[in-house]
Amino acid sequence: MTYRQKSLLLLSLFLYLALVPSLYASEPFHNIQGFYGERAAGLAGAFTAIADDPSGAYYNPAGLGFTYHDGISISASNFKNVKRSYINIDTPGQTYNQTHRGFDPNFIGLLKNYDRWKFAFSIVNTYNYEYNRADQVNYPLVAPSINTTRNYTKERYNQLLIGPSLAYLINDRLSVGATLYYINDTKDISRTQFQQFSDLSYVMRSFVDNRTTSGLMPVLGIQFQPMPKLSLGASIRRTIVTGGSRLYNEVYVDSLRPRGSSAVDFIEGTGSGFSSVENGAITSRPKMITSIPETTELRAGVAYFPSSRFLASFDIIHTSGYKKFRSQDQVSVRGNRVTYALNDQEIRELTRFATTNFAFGMEYYLADTFSVLGGIFTNEPNTKPISWTDSAIDLYLQSVIGNQLRAGNENTSLVYNIARTGTDPRNEYSKNRGFSIGFSWQTSKSSLSVTLIQENGRGNSRIDPNSLSQAFEYSAQSIYIMVSSKN
């Protein structure tokens, strides 16, 4: 191993601390991304058997059938604070924190009543994360040959749902409904990394990765009231991808390389092709992924109204898993030498594991126009559990055989790359629990509510493929302000 290679290996931890967490931390590691609508947030999302305001278009469109007024609902998360902590990332006591703060409108809904027919239109901003980071490490003790490492990252992740809803009140006890959302899901990342060594040589890497995915999300619902004080509801939704595009571009420069065709590496890819020129080798890679997981979600709920002032509701939310497989083999040519690499066929950035979550909420009217709401909920991870044992085995195979099995001669090679647990982009696992507390002021024509959501979780993560897994902590606080009017 050369002097430069040893330095790069020692510094890999710093690179992954600065880059990999910001690249993947915004991707949904849980299926519950937020709460939408006035009462749903205060009830911790236990709204499937109620759904009697414009936000019912999202939770259970059949609930719209039991509304008797036209309405407009606008809600906004005026402050959201998310903190991810990676414990003992390198040495005991060393913690890496990543934070996100933002202000985003998350729901707008309109509702029109035509006797037994109800029409609605809603816009739901399920998540919207933005990160801007600048990290710098000078003269690291673990790598004295390094003078400085600088990383600049800008990222944005967003998903928007837009669409109409229709509900029909079959009789005084039974209603059915449907919503058809158009999905726009985007990911935009730009990053620059610069590293200078003690001999004043340097390496520099920059890339952009932009993806846009479009699709449909139909939601079907039913709501039944077997008795005046009891309501039952259920809804099912599915993500259907209809199109997408992606552009990836990367440039790598090493000042120690001689001038010529090998001086600069270029990696470029889209949804229709992906190739690279790296250190003189031309590689054909599998085309890039332009879709998102096509999961199915089933909600079932019950609501009980023992009096005109009090209600209690309970929801079960089951979200299916998702896996997709295709050939991800690569062919590299360097001069007269050809290498064919066999890779695992699972597209791990799309892999989701099934989850079942629960929500329980209550509402009590302290006065005719003032109520207090509260609830608790779970938010299980949709990722595979991350174990210390798996990371230890992965590091052992990497040190012994480089996680590769190779065969061939001096002109042709066949390589099988063993899938590394450390390079899985789904690299966080935490079981989250949360609660909500809210207050609502209502009149016959309008209402205003304020809700606080607190969510915490613990688990494991592995943000550096060259180190063992580490403990992980999640903390998020959101304040929702919701305004609605009735006619």
**What is the chain's percent helix, strand, coil content, to nearest 5?**
10, 60, 30
pLDDT digits (tens, 9 = 90+) for 13-49: 344 333 343 333 445 899 998 899 889 999 999 999 9
Say what the pLDDT of residue 229 is: 94
Q: Name the most confidently modeled range: 95-109, 194-208, 233-247, 434-448.
A: 233-247
Domains in the chain (CATH in brackets) are: 3-486 (2.40.160.60)
Mapping DSSP to helix (H, G, I), strand (E, B) and coil, where does residue 349 land? coil
Cβ atoms of 37 and 361 closer than 8 Å: no
Mapping DSSP to helix (H, G, I), strand (E, B) and coil, where does residue 308 land? coil
Say what the pLDDT of residue 430 is: 95
Supply the pTM of this predicted model. Answer: 0.88
Cβ atoms of 232 and 226 closer than 8 Å: yes
Say what the pLDDT of residue 276 is: 92
What is the greatest pairwise CA distance in the chain?
A: 85
